[in-house]
Amino acid sequence: MDPQFDTDIYGPHEKFEGYNAFIPTEEEEEEDKEQHPQVHSHRRDLVKKMSSYTAPKHLISELQAFHGKEDEEGDKNGQINKAFGKRERIIDRENDYRRRRLNRKLSPPRHDPFAADDRSPGADVSTYADVMREQALIRLEHETHHLISQKRKQEDFDFREKQSDAKFRSHENKSDEILDVKEIKYSQDKRRTHSSRRRHKLPHPSKDKCS
């Protein structure tokens, strides 16, 4: 077969080019461990994770570099969270609504009519009717608390509206009083000027001749 034909089909590279075909000895592994302990431990963890996968060497090196960047970013995020007092636990990221499941009361043992042979259940055993009654009471309690909170909010809103209306009315009354005072003062000044004009008015000349 023509070798040029093979290179045209398979390419000019060798079949196992890029693969790690070298197996180090125990002495070389020990020297590598002593020189680079962190790299060796990280590599050992990756080998354990990827023991069931095969890939070219350049892909494995890219994956190792990617995992190294992820580890560095994880360490940085951990340091930032510690600096700002943040915690990485899942329970710390839950809100109050999700934490309510931890405060729920455990259900008491249920009454089994088949195992009890039609005997009346004891005081420490709850039946289906008891559980449904308890759930109804819990719902009624939540609804009552909700109605009370809504009523308080409405009362606060009404009180604020009354205060604003009282302030507005007092302001209007003050403005009306000021206008009334100004009108009274204006009328008084007008009367004074009119009376002063009448006092200082000269007699008519025709009347003087007739007299």
Spell out the domain ranges in the chain.
27-84
Q: Which range scores top for mean pLDDT: 56-60, 153-157, 159-163?
A: 153-157
CA distances from 3 to 9, 60, 107 (A): 10, 31, 79
Q: Looking at the predicted structure, is the pLDDT value of residue 211 above 50?
A: no
Q: Looking at the predicted structure, is the pLDDT value of residue 22 above 80?
A: no
Quickly tell me which residue has 């909170």 as its tokens.
149
pLDDT of residue 143: 92
Q: Which range scores top for mean pLDDT: 127-136, 150-159, 196-205?
A: 150-159
Handedness of CA 28, 34, 39, 45 (dihedral sign): positive
Q: What is the mean pLDDT of residues 170-197?
A: 70
CA distance 147 to 139: 12
Tens-place pLDDT, residues 127-149: 778 888 888 998 999 999 999 99
Q: What is residue 19's DSSP assignment?
A: S
Could you tell me if 124 and 108 are in contact, meaning their C-beta atoms sit under 8 angstroms apart?
yes
Spell out the residues 6+ positions from residue 18 whose beta carbon is closer than 8 angstroms to its own: 56, 57, 58
CA distances from 4 to 13, 17, 31 (A): 12, 18, 44
CA atoms within 13 A on the CB side of 185: 6
pLDDT of residue 60: 63
Tens-place pLDDT, residues 48-79: 665 555 666 666 667 666 655 555 555 555 55
Name the residue with higher pLDDT: 23 or 116.
Answer: 23
CA distance 138 to 87: 34
- Look up residue 8 and give its two tokens: 């045209």
